[in-house]
Amino acid sequence: MTSAISVDGLEVIFDRFRALKGVRLDVQPGESFGLVGESGSGKSTLLRAIAGLAPVASGSIAVNGKTLGARRDKAFYREVQMVFQDPYGSLHPRQTVDRLLQEPLAIHGFADGEKRIQRALDEVGLGNGFRFRYSHQLSGGQRQRVAIARALILEPSILLLDEPTSALDASVQAEVLNLLEEVRRRRKLTFLMVSHDLAIITHMCERLMVMQSGEAVENLAANDLVERRVSKDYTRNLLRASDGFVRTA
Amino acid sequence: MSHDPNQQRSTSALLDVEDLRVTFPTRTGLIEAVRGVSFSLGRERLGIVGESGSGKSQTGRAIMGLTPPQARISANKLAFDGIDLLSVSPRERRSLRGKRIAMILQDPKYSLDPVMSIGRQIVETLRTHEKVGKAEARDRALAMLEAVQIRDPARVFDLHPHEVSGGMGQRAMIAMMLIAGPEMMIADEPTSALDVTVQLDVLGILDRLVGERGMGLIFISHDLRLVSSFCDRVIVMYAGKVVEQLKASELGRAQHPYTRGLLNCMPKIGADRHPLPVLDRKPEWAA
Amino acid sequence: MSVDTIQSRRDWLLSERPASRMQARLGRAYVAWRRFSANRLAFLGLLIIIALLVVAALAGVLAPYSPTFGDLKNARLLAPSAEHWFGTDDLGRDILSRILYGSRWTLYVVILVAIIAAPIGLLVGTVAGYAGGWTDAILMRITDIFLAFPKLILALAFVAALGPGIENAVLAIAITSWPPYARIARAETLTVRNSDYIKAVQLMGASPFRIVLRHIMPLCISSLIIRVTLDMAGIILTAAGLGFLGLGAQPPLPEWGTMIASGRRFVLDQWWVAGAPGFAILIVSLGFNLLGDGLRDALDPRSGDQ
């Protein structure tokens, strides 16, 4: 079976700074794969490089068996979509929800826009009452739902998730994570999800890769983390940190 | 150390808050950010937990006197060590701030002066509150930087805030806030902008210094689990009100459905719950 | 209209759940209008500009005399009186009539300059800001060259090359006033081009052309409108200056700057000849400035999104 996403020897360089140093990644179709690490580990850069938003210096990226060039074509964007971290920054401040959802349909020339917008809003649990609101009239969770609706409206097979809940309150986070799991099951999507929170990754993903300063530290199954079968100190430190503060007497 | 721990324990509450209200006038009417919050703080670590809009930060700011000028504050009692904070002159309030009450904010990038070296900022803070010579101030600043576990204090002393990492910046911030020897500290999400491993280092430093100096700490955070592992006592806020007060060690026995919901809805390693339980907000919680 | 219907209309406009595209748009406009009309000075500015429009439209009806033919024999340089409110000039023409007709030329200049200069500036600025690299360098160096000369001097040079006349004056002013707009549009573009919402549109597969036109330009337009309005006074003064120097509108056209120029010979004895058009320029410039200030408060994207 061809991989949904296959990355090999990927290097990303921003102004002489090597953000990714030869990273390998293989995500199977229908799988949910997590990327974990602290700030500066390159996990978000890897996601953006796949989306075509980071300058790739060398290495190859293939999506559904097709190797990508420097420029992405329209067909790529119908296969791969992304949800950003900050729901306050990822929606255009002067556009209504309706307009935001119409844009991808207009770009790709869909005729049944009306129906698709209705369906997308229903799917993410926002009724018609939200359709003509501006983003500043929405709460953080509602905005993230709109962002998910926008990503799903082109019916992609792969969703890139860049810390989709880190800006949200815990209770809203639970709702958004549930929504993501639900759409994944219904649409048989492949997820590639970035988070600094090990608990979220083990909850959402089957396999994961731990990253540190632009390199992969280790590849694990979610179960390995649960049973604490990790081989690297760095991962062990992360695991300990996620248990919360422990007072050393 | 300047304080005798036995004497501190015996004195009554450091901070007394009774029926605190903070109201913001807006175009569409009044918004009550804090609606009748009461609690008292001794020389202990008190956590205030809540989600965005719960009024937790406005509570901290009201105690500090950092509420925006258009807002109205009222309280039956808002007393720090017997001093009524609502009736003191702005000048006295300013001198309390920094000298006896300190505050740490979320992001050191915005709370440190970008054009002044870290060392100078600490020295300035010390010299506004105490009459000390330049050389002595410098020595004490260096000692303080060492106390927050900065390995090379002399080097960091001359650095500017943008030249240090987030964790280092937050340590410098703590050093600056503790230099004048305050008796109470308000920390508003002090580690939310930091990586998890750095977060624990900073909390460890904070914990040790607060313990050693017998200070009262108000730790404001959205992270219930973190707060309960760090504090002695926890106040849970919802929609501007306190819904529950309990000992951190008894968090598992929380009564209020909001507190329990908040604890439950977070994913945990090893807990296989699909879908996650979500919070079913009841209007009567806010009533 | 009863109080109830007004109230329900306001609720409809301010609804948090607009039911249609129209309602959302009207609601947004209404909020901006409320912010604008709360500012009294800005409202005064708006009234002045509306008065200017009305006067320009109805000059033929309002003016008591012909703007171009005077009574050379009996009515030269008469002081203001009940017959000639603002007096007459050296050719016996009624100054009030000339000022009323002159408002048309003022509007003509201002509107044409805005229509020519603002879109050029917007296009150059957004394209330079979004494309970056060489495109940016070349476009902005051209902008810098224009900015390096004082506006009036550059306009003078253009008019000298193109020949005097009001059309050429408009062209010259337009050519010299777009660079600041390009700067503003570029600065605005740079702040939004790396935002996630622009990245999101890129990820939809939108072409750079579409992104600039449909997503970036709308964000730059409000600050541009503000700037253009504030510049209106300067444009009127430059046009008047060119007219004064004999390079703008040519006599007998009743253009305000040209009128001041011809009145300067008698400015000490017959002050009203130059004074009246000067006062008109002052009032209209003030109107545009007040309007611009008000728009800044009402439209400025930085003052919150509400």
Inform me whether the pLDDT recorded for C150 exceeds 70: yes
Q: What is the pLDDT of residue B9?
A: 42
Inform me whether the pLDDT recorded for C304 exceeds 60: no
C-contacting chains (≥3 CB pairs under 8 Å):
A
Q: What is the pLDDT of residue A249?
A: 53
Q: What is the pLDDT of residues C63-80, one digit of tens each?
A: 888 888 877 777 777 888
In the chain, the amino acid numbered A166 is: S
Give me chain C's average pLDDT, please: 86
Q: What are the phi and psi torsion angles at C166 (to 5°)?
A: -70, -35
Give how far C289 is from chain A: nearest CA, Å.
Answer: 26
Inform me whether the pLDDT recorded for C306 exceeds 70: no
Strand partners, A219: A209
Nearest by CB to residue C195, choosing from A81, A89, A154, is A89
**Inter-chain contact A132–C20, Cβ cutoff 8 Å?**
yes
Q: Residue B99 — pLDDT band, cuts 50, 70, 90? A: confident
B-contacting chains (≥3 CB pairs under 8 Å):
A
Q: What is the pLDDT of residues B147-173, one digit of tens each?
A: 888 888 889 899 988 888 888 888 888
Q: What are the phi and psi torsion angles at C56 (to 5°)?
A: -65, -40
Tokens of B109: 């990038």
With an 8 Å Cβ cutoff, is B195 touching chain A? Answer: yes
**Inter-chain contact C204–A77, Cβ cutoff 8 Å?**
yes
Nearest by CB to residue B207, choosing from A177, A239, A247, is A247
Mind giving me the DSSP string for B6-26? HHHHHS--SEEEEEEEEEEEE
Q: What is the pLDDT of residue A248?
A: 66
Mean pLDDT comparison of A184-193, B87-96, B118-127, C107-116, highest-scoring range: A184-193
Q: Residue C300 — pLDDT band, cuts 50, 70, 90? A: low
**Inter-chain contact C205–A84, Cβ cutoff 8 Å?**
no
Question: What are the Cα distances from residue B239, in Å, to A26, A116, B56, B145, B262?
Answer: 45, 37, 9, 39, 14
**Inter-chain contact C204–A91, Cβ cutoff 8 Å?**
no
CB-based contact C280:C100 (threshold 8 Å): no
What's the rounded mean pLDDT across residues B199-219? 87
Window 153-192 of B, Cβ < 8 Å to A? 166
Q: What is the pLDDT of residues C118-127, one digit of tens each?
A: 999 999 999 9
Q: What is the pLDDT of residue C30?
A: 84
Domain boundaries, given as residue ranges, for chain A: 5-241
Q: Residue B7 — pLDDT band, cuts 50, 70, 90? A: very low
User: Among B254, B213, A233, which Cα is nearest to B227's?
Assistant: B254
What's the rounded mean pLDDT across residues B82-101? 88
Q: Residue C55 — pLDDT band, cuts 50, 70, 90? A: very high
What's the rounded mean pLDDT across residues B124-133? 87
Mean pLDDT comparison of A100-104, C11-15, C35-39, highest-scoring range: A100-104
Tokens of B232: 């002695």
Q: Rounded to whole angstroms, how far apart are CA atoms B104 and B119?
A: 17
Q: Rounded to whole angstroms, how far apart are CA atoms B263 and B281?
A: 14
Q: Can you say whether the dihedral through the CA atoms of A88, A91, A93, A97 is positive or negative?
A: negative
Q: Which residues of chain A have pLDDT under 70?
A: 1, 248-249
CB-based contact A205:A222 (threshold 8 Å): yes
Q: Residue C305 — pLDDT band, cuts 50, 70, 90? A: very low
Best of A85, A137, A203, A225 to disrupt the B interface (most B CBs within 10 Å) is A203
Q: What is the pLDDT of residue B228?
A: 85
With an 8 Å Cβ cutoff, is A53 touching chain C? Answer: yes
**A174 vs B contacts (CB less than 8 Å):** 265-267, 276-279
With an 8 Å Cβ cutoff, is A68 touching chain C? Answer: no
Q: Rounded to whole angstroms, how far apart are CA atoms B17 and B62?
A: 11
**Inter-chain contact B197–A196, Cβ cutoff 8 Å?**
no
Inform me whether the pLDDT recorded for B97 exceeds 50: yes
**Inter-chain contact C204–A94, Cβ cutoff 8 Å?**
no
**Inter-chain contact A245–B200, Cβ cutoff 8 Å?**
yes
Tokens of A223: 């179960």
Q: Residue C203 — pLDDT band, cuts 50, 70, 90? A: very high
**A246 vs B contacts (CB less than 8 Å):** 229
CB-based contact B93:B65 (threshold 8 Å): yes
Strands B216-221 and B45-49, by their bridges, are parallel
Tokens of A204: 């959402």
Q: What class does CATH assign to A5-241?
A: alpha beta
Lowest-pLDDT range, A198-202, B20-24, B177-181?
B177-181
Q: Rounded to whole angstroms, how far apart are CA atoms A103 and A148?
A: 14
Eight-state DSSP code of residue C207: -
Q: Residue B179 — pLDDT band, cuts 50, 70, 90? A: confident
**C20 vs A contacts (CB less than 8 Å):** 132
Rounded to two decimals, the pTM is 0.85
Q: What is the pLDDT of residue A104?
A: 94
CB-based contact B225:B191 (threshold 8 Å): no
Nearest by CB to residue C203, choosing from A81, A98, A133, is A81
With an 8 Å Cβ cutoff, is B278 touching chain A? Answer: yes
Q: Rounded to whole angstroms, how far apart are CA atoms A127 and A229?
A: 44
**Inter-chain contact B278–A171, Cβ cutoff 8 Å?**
yes
Eight-state DSSP code of residue A91: S
**A39 vs B contacts (CB less than 8 Å):** 166, 195
Strands A80-83 and A158-162, by their bridges, are parallel
Nearest by CB to residue A77, choosing from C205, C215, C306, is C205
* CATH number attached to the domain at B5-89+217-286: 3.40.50.300
Q: Residue B2 — pLDDT band, cuts 50, 70, 90? A: very low
Give how far A163 is from chain B: nearest CA, Å.
Answer: 14
Q: Residue B73 — pLDDT band, cuts 50, 70, 90? A: very high
Nearest by CB to residue A241, choosing from B200, B266, B270, is B200
What's the rounded mean pLDDT across residues C14-34? 80
**Inter-chain contact A90–C200, Cβ cutoff 8 Å?**
yes
B234 against C11, higher pLDDT: B234
C-beta neighbour count of C197 within 10 angstroms: 23
Q: Residue B6 — pLDDT band, cuts 50, 70, 90? A: very low
What's the rounded mean pLDDT across residues C141-163? 89
Nearest by CB to residue C199, choosing from A53, A96, A108, is A53
Give how far B107 is from chain A: nearest CA, Å.
Answer: 15
Q: Residue B8 — pLDDT band, cuts 50, 70, 90? A: very low
Nearest by CB to residue B278, choosing from A175, A198, A225, is A175
Q: What are the phi and psi torsion angles at B58 (to 5°)?
A: -65, -30
Q: Is the peptide bond before C252 cis (omega within 30 degrees of 0)?
A: yes
**Inter-chain contact C200–A82, Cβ cutoff 8 Å?**
yes
What's the rounded mean pLDDT across residues B6-21? 72
Give me chain B's average pLDDT, please: 86
Helices (H), chain B: 5-10, 56-64, 90-99, 108-111, 118-129, 134-147, 153-157, 166-178, 196-213, 224-230, 257-264, 283-286
Domain boundaries, given as residue ranges, for chain C: 47-299
Q: What is the pLDDT of residues C238-283, one digit of tens each?
A: 888 888 888 888 878 888 888 888 888 888 888 888 889 889 989 9
Overall fold of domain C47-299 = MetI-like fold (1.10.3720)
**B223 vs A contacts (CB less than 8 Å):** 170
